[in-house]
Amino acid sequence: MSSFHRGRLIAVEGIDGCGKTTQAKMLSKALGALLTFEPGATALGKEIRGLLLDVSLPHPVARAEALLMAADRAQHVDEVVRPALEDGKWVVTDRYSGSTLAYQGAGRQLGVAALRQIVEWAADDLAPDLSILLDVPVPLARRRLASSAPDRLERLQDDFHERVREGFLSLAAEKDWVVVDGEGDTPQVHDEIMRAVERRLGLPGSRRFPSEGG
């Protein structure tokens, strides 16, 4: 497949409460891109998501949790992401491989290096063209989530989420991700993300993003 006609894959990553879901929706709309998410974007993935996050179901051990995440991604890539890219569409995904490395590798302390091969295999070596990390301090993220019903991972203690945040920051430095301060107001964060996308990838079709000052 010619890379000239291939769409682009953008992953929006970050700890729970960072604002990534809102920003992924805004970004996909601005780009005219397909919006998807992990875990749970496919029929099989929806069942896997329940096993992973539903507090009423038996808790998977950490290794099983990582493998379930990988299974969701394998289905997601084959059923949703790769077909869209091959059709020339841009895709914005709310979480991708980086989340497994940060949550299960760093947060669950399974080891990022130990999981990397599994993660790459599950994704069939399909890496994002750009990963964007929305970074916020854990206390702020926890406050943002205070009014919602927490899932299994969101219920874990602050030290887990601190490890996840540090895992994301390490990945961002290693892989040259775009790191965006998620503490700003929603439009400001969106503007920064759009400028980063245009700088790194350009924009699809005839879309143009106005720079500061017009």
Confidence of residue 152 (pLDDT cuts 50, 70, 90): confident
Q: Are 22 and 132 in contact (CB under 8 A)?
A: no
Tens-place pLDDT, residues 38-54: 999 999 999 999 999 99
Read off the pLDDT of each residue in 161-178 and give the average, rounded to a whole number: 97
Read off the pLDDT of each residue in 138-158 and give the average, rounded to a whole number: 86
Answer positive or negative: Cα dihedral of 35, 43, 70, 145: positive
Residue 209: predicted pLDDT: 55
Tens-place pLDDT, residues 91-106: 999 999 999 999 999 9
Q: Give Cα 179 to chain centroid, integer Å.
A: 13
Tens-place pLDDT, residues 71-86: 999 999 999 999 999 9
Confidence of residue 149 (pLDDT cuts 50, 70, 90): confident
State the pTM of this model. Answer: 0.92
Residue 207: predicted pLDDT: 60
